[in-house]
Amino acid sequence: MNRREWVAYGQEMLEKEGIENASGEAWYLFSECLGVSREDYLFGMTEEVTDVSGLQKYQEMLQKRAKERCPLQYLLGTQEFMGYSFLVNPDVLIPRADTETVLEEVMATGIRPETILDLCTGSGCIAVSLALLMKPRLCIGTDISPRALDVAKANGKKLCPMVEFVESDLFEQVEGTFDLIISNPPYIKTEECRELMPEVRDHEPMLALDGREDGLYFYRKIIKEAPGYLNPGGMLAFEIGYDQGEAVKGMMLKQGFHSVEIRKDLAGLDRLVFGNK
C-alpha cells in the first residue's frame, strides 16, 4: 500500500475503537514510525511504503492506541506545552491546555517573581515554562516520585538547565522562601478516579491524580504550610477542578491570604485560584 492508504488504514482502525481524532492520530503515528514529515507526505502520498520495520512499529502502536487505549502522547513520547516540546511517559501526567491557561492567567497578573517553587512538578512543564517565560533568578520543581523527577530533569536539561528539581513530599525538602508558589496537585476524588476515561485511568499515574476522599487533601496541606515559604506579598496559585474554586478560595482566605481570586479556563469552568500572603 502507499502512504495515503496506510494512514487511511490506521484511521479506520482507530475509528472502530471510538478514538475521537482518528485521522490526526493515525497521521502522527505514521509520521513517527516511518520518519515522514508532513511536507514529504503531501508531495508523496502515492509512494509505496517498503519500510517493513517501520510498518511493523506503526501497526504495534495502532494496536496499543486502539485496543489498550494508550494515550497518543505516551506513544510519541512528547507533548507540546506553552510552545515547547516536553518529554512524557507513563510516570508523569500529560501536560494539558487547561494548565497553559493557569500559567497565562498567573502571568497576566503582572507578577515578576525572582524566585518560583512548583510543587507536584511531574514532567516539569510548569517550572520549565515559567523559567523560560518569566526568567526568575531561581526556579525549583519538587515531586514525591523519583521516576517523575527523572522525566522533569530530562526536560530541564533539554529546555532550561537552570531549573532545579528536588525529590520532596510537598515542602518536606524545600528551603528558603519564594515570590511565587504554584501547584497542580492531585485533585480528583478517589471514588471518581475509577470513572475516568481509560486513557487516564489505566495509563496516567494515579499518584498524580488521586486527591483523596474529597479531592481537597493536598490543597489543605499546601495552604497551611505555604505562608512559611512565601515572601511578603508572594503569590500562591493553584490549578483546580471545575467544582473546587469556592472551597479552595475559602481555605486560602481562612489562612490569611488576601486578594484571592478564581479564574476560568477557555471552557468557562473554574480552573485557577490565586492569592497573596
Q: How does pLDDT run across 45-56, given as a tens digit for each residue?
A: 999 999 999 999
pLDDT at 113: 98
Mean pLDDT to the nearest integer, 56-82: 97
In contact, 236 and 216? CB cutoff 8 Å: no
pLDDT at 109: 95
- Residue numbers in the known binding site are 143, 184-187
Place of cell 481509560: 198
- Residue numbers in the known binding site for substrate are 184-187
- Residue numbers in the known binding site for S-adenosyl-L-methionine are 143, 184
The C-alpha atoms of residue 182 and residue 228 are separated, in whole angstroms, by 14
pLDDT at 111: 96
The C-alpha atoms of residue 142 and residue 152 are separated, in whole angstroms, by 9
DSSP state for residue 268 in the 8-state scheme: S
Tell me the CATH number of domain 79-276, given options 3.30.420.40, 3.40.50.300, 3.40.50.150, 3.20.20.70.
3.40.50.150
Q: Please report which residue ranges of 142-212 form alpha helices under DSSP H.
A: 146-159, 190-193, 198-201
**Residue type at 2 in one-letter notation:** N
Mean pLDDT to the nearest integer, 189-193: 94
Grid cell digits, residue 13: 482502525
Grid cell digits, residue 175: 528551603
Strand 270-276: give its sheet, edge to edge: 164-167, 138-143, 115-119, 178-183, 230-239, 270-276, 258-264
In DSSP terms, 48 is beta-bridged to 2
- CA dist list (Å): 22 to 2, 14, 31, 56: 19, 5, 14, 19
